[in-house]
Every structure is written in C-alpha cells, then in structure tokens.
Amino acid sequence: MNFQNRFSRPGATAALIERLNAGLLSHPSATDTLDRWCRASGKLPGAALSAEVHRDGVRRELTAEECARLAVSPGDALRYRLVRIFFGDKFLSEAENWYVSARLPLEMNRLLEETETPFGRVVEDLDFQRDTLSSDVLWTPEADARAPILRHRAILSNGLSPISLVVETYQPDVLFFHAG
C-alpha cells in the first residue's frame, strides 16, 4: 500500500499512530519497541533494524531547561549523536541524543563514538528508565505523506542520575509495518 492510499483513511492512520505511540510510551527503549513493532508485522522477514550515525557536526544546542533536566554541570562533557533508524530499507525514525559521557562506562562511550549502534542498544545493560517529557502527534490528514508523524522528547536515567536527553522523530515509513 502506498502512502497516498494509507493516508486517504485518516481514522485508520490516526488509530495506527496511537497504537505505535502507546507502545513507545510503555517501554524504556524506543529501539527495542521499533524492532518488535517491525518484526511482529511479518513484513520484510529477512530485514533487521539498523542505524546510520550522522557525524557532520551540525547540532542543536540544549536550552537552559533541557540542561537542567539533564543535570548538566559546567564541567560536564556533553556529547551529541544524530542517528537514523531503519528496518530494511524503511526509514523509521531520527533520534537526536545528548548524553553526559562521564555517566557512562568507557566501553559504552567507545561504542557511541566509534559504531553505528543505536543508543538504546549501547546502554541497555544499565537497565535505564525513560521519563517522557513530551509526546506530540505531528500527523494530520492534510499532512504531506513524507512529513514526520510523531515526536517524543525524553530523559533516560540509570536510576541514579540522568544520562541522556533524546528527541525522537518518527517517520511515515514506520506505519508500513501495520497498515492494512
């Protein structure tokens, strides 16, 4: 089904986005949620979740409120990562991630700096918690079929202190997996 056909049924599209959103809000790892979402559909059975890290140096600076939520001190090294998540050839989401490197083990920092591994997979051994700051449905029936559909802002913490602020922007391709 192409996007135009899928988006011509606004009620079904809204319900699908609501279902995806509920899944994302109920689990700490968006990476794992997306992987389950795609695999449960049975579509693209030979595909796998992958990430593409963009290290072009362009980044948005955090606001004072975001720095406070992340408990960033003047001496803290704040790192930034922009990752695009795919399942097969389907572009699922873009995740901006700011993290305090001193709050992560050295091996996790190395993986974040040198590999394409999604943040959630790198830090999964920390048994992190997720505090969602906002969940915004961006899709409307009039929206361009290529426009983002959903955005989450969240703080990830290791139980003791915040380790990361993430902004995840979900793309229309994610609906492919459960659209009728």
Please say if the pLDDT value at position 134 is more than 50.
yes
Confidence of residue 153 (pLDDT cuts 50, 70, 90): very high
Instruction: Give percent of the chain above pLDDT 70.
Output: 95
Copy the structure tokens of residue 90: 């389907």
Q: Provide the pLDDT for residue 8.
A: 61
Q: Provide the pLDDT for residue 30.
A: 96
Copy the structure tokens of residue 88: 């097969």
DSSP secondary structure code for residue 171 in this structure: -
DSSP secondary structure code for residue 148 in this structure: -
The CATH number of the structural domain formed by 3-177 is: 3.40.1410.10
Q: Provide the pLDDT for residue 94.
A: 97
pTM for the full model? 0.92
How far apart, in Å, are the Cα atoms of 176 and each of 6, 53, 92, 163?
9, 23, 10, 32
Give the C-alpha separation, 121 to 112, whole Å: 10
H or E element: which one contains 112? helix 106-114
* Three-class DSSP category at 141: coil
Phi, psi (degrees; rounded to nearest 5) at 65:
-65, -45
CA Rg value for the chain: 17
Confidence of residue 83 (pLDDT cuts 50, 70, 90): very high
- The string of pLDDT tens digits covering residues 9-67 is 889 999 999 999 999 999 999 999 999 999 999 999 999 999 999 988 778 889 999 99
Q: Rounded mean pLDDT of the chain?
A: 92
